[in-house]
Copies of this chain bind each other. A is one copy, B any other.
């Protein structure tokens, strides 16, 4: 009987149409998050020894069982199915099947709500650390490249028109500055996330000595316990939105870098180019060398921003307490994180490999770029700025 797979086991089976609609692809996302559920479950079981729910030997078996799940998962042998609904059910089912009675005890003092909360939080904290590292590497790469090209002139554009002279070095360093500034945010968000929601159960806590929240806080390395159980619930989806919005700044920087590269690799500019291994061709135009990666990056940045906003809209009008709407935010946050990780890696690779065509850039430094410099020369000779500006404007016949 299929229904017995579920942790809530009603007597009437759920309609397949409703099951498909409500579970959707959630089990596929849970498949990715399994290690974090194992980690939290191990801490939870250890805690249950302390509070007397489990014996040491029961706990040993559960720890071994959970380790076994992780091993199987790493080999691709542990699958969360749609009928199980989620990884939490898959885990409990496995333990109960293998170890009987004690598998039934592990859910003591927790709910799938706090299991999901702690699993996602551990995942996000780890991802933020990884991304912070890759961004700091990207800043360094940009600054290296900027230094190599510190003296290479480049037309500066405003209103998509040539404006004033700048350098390739300054241009590259402007992105580095943005990535560096983003790091402060990531730290701030990591600090926000660094509070343990495990033990909030279904959002109202457990009024029983079977739970010792500080134990799992310590065991999982959280900086603090997220004390108010209703706040744990409120933070589901909201913290996911905050996390994606935190990374919106580096994503936007990547999007703007892509826009620049798209323009400056056009044949009409030719300021920069990338090795052939970065470009694609056309199925009917034999001459083409396309920088598809920047088009995809540009679109991915918009897709990323949409996901971040989508999470916010989904949770914005919900009443307190668990609402299953938040399930939809799980896939969005994982996809968003993956887009961010990839986009930064691709940008890093592009900066490392880009060719700067110094000769082309020098030729592009046409005289109009220096009109403002002529104004300032007059200013330095004592003419009021606005008069100098008008004088040069008149000379240029504009």
Contacts and interface: CB of A to CB of B under 8 A. Distances in A.
Interface in A207-265: 207-210, 226-231, 233-235, 238, 241-242, 245, 248-249, 252-253, 255-256, 259-260, 262-263
Given A14-B277, A292-B22, A385-B104, A202 B163 contact: yes
B306 A306 contact: yes
A263 B342 CA distance: 29
A9 interface: yes
Interface in A345-398: 345-346, 349, 366, 368, 371-373, 375-376, 379-380, 384-387, 389-390, 392-393, 396, 398
Contact of A8 (B185, B280, B387): B280
A8 B111 CA distance: 48
Contacts of A291: 159-161
Contacts of A332: 303
Q: Is the interface of A mostly helix, strand, loop or mixed?
A: helix
Contacts of A283: 7-8, 88-89, 107, 111-112, 389
A36 interface: no
Nearest to A15: B277
21 contacts: A8-B280, A12-B277, A13-B277, A21-B293, A111-B284, A159-B321, A164-B204, A174-B231, A174-B320, A175-B234, A177-B228, A206-B376, A207-B376, A242-B249, A245-B245, A281-B398, A286-B398, A287-B398, A295-B323, A296-B324, A303-B314
Contacts of A18: 277-278, 293, 346, 349
Given A292-B22, A376-B206, A255 B316 contact: yes
A380 B285 CA distance: 16
Given A96-B386, A210-B379, A309-B305, A252 B166 contact: no
A98 interface: no
Given A163-B204, A163-B322, A306-B313, 10 more contacts: A24-B296, A104-B384, A160-B262, A164-B204, A166-B204, A234-B256, A256-B319, A284-B372, A285-B371, A306-B310
A19 to B, nearest CB: 9
Interface in A289-305: 289-293, 295-303, 305
Given A284-B202, A286-B389, A319-B157, A177 B292 contact: no
Given A184-B191, A280-B14, A346 B21 contact: yes
A33 interface: no
Contacts of A189: 185
A105 B375 CA distance: 12
Contact of A21 (B9, B106, B296): B296
Contact of A317 (B207, B302, B346): B302
Interface stretch (A66-74, A126-134, A266-274): A266-274
Nearest to A384: B104
Contacts of A64: none
Contacts of A102: 384
B253 A385 contact: no
Contacts of A159: 288, 290-292, 295, 321-324
A292 B17 CA distance: 13
A333 interface: no
Contacts of A282: 8, 111, 158, 163, 202
Nearest to A335: B25
Contacts of A192: 181, 184-185
A226 to B, nearest CB: 8
Given A9-B390, A204-B166, A310-B303, A17 B371 contact: no
